[in-house]
Amino acid sequence: MKTLVVFYSRTGNTRRVAEEIQNSLDCDIEEIIDTKKRSGPLGYMKSGRDASSGKLTVLKDITHDPASYDLLIIGTPLWAWHVSTPARTYIHQNHTKFSKVAFFCTAGGKSFGGTSRT
Ligand SMILES: Cc1cc2nc3c(=O)[nH]c(=O)nc-3n(C[C@H](O)[C@H](O)[C@H](O)COP(=O)(O)O)c2cc1C
């Protein structure tokens, strides 16, 4: 089965999990790269606001065509009880090309239930 791990990571946690999965499955990997600056306290606040309001962002071009994979494993950090804005944007722009999809998320707390909110 041809598999692609796709992830967004602001501070490295989701990247580490994505790379573990990639190593275990020996598959391709794609990092979602946001053009919006999200570092520092202001970036944190903007990110929380963007996620909870369901905003989209502008991503850098992707390098792997999701249509050529049997399975996509998409990873996101939890932002304000929602999927992160860059991961939401990736899904929004590419979902018609998905075959099977699995998701994972990382979070600072225990409340993962809302990650499915888009
Ligand atoms: C804007 C923002 C909002 C967050 N909101 C939540 C939250 O609602 N619940 C939670 O458990 N963690 C929350 N976190 C913590 C991140 O989900 C957690 O640290 C995650 O592992 C970060 O992943 P990354 O290092 O790949 O960016 C938030 C982090 C950010 C930056």
pLDDT bucket at 109, cuts 50 / 70 / 90: confident
CATH number at residue 48: 3.40.50.360
Residue 110 pLDDT > 80: no
**Owning domain of residue 16:** 3-116
Q: How far does the centroid of ligand 1 lie from the alpha carbon of residue 107, in Å?
A: 5
pLDDT in tens, 81-92: 999 999 999 999
Report the predicted TM-score, pTM, of the whole model to 2 decimal places: 0.94
Mutate to test the pocket of ligand 1, among 21, 45, 79 (most ligand atoms within 8 A of CB): 79
For the Cβ of 57 lying below 6 angstroms from any atom of ligand 1, the answer is no
CA 90 to chain centre: 7
What average pLDDT score do residues 22-41 get?
97
Domains of the chain: total: 1
Structural contact between residues 60 and 33, judged by C-beta atoms closer than 8 angstroms? yes
Mean pLDDT of the chain: 94
Q: Encoding tokens for residue 77? A: 């950090």
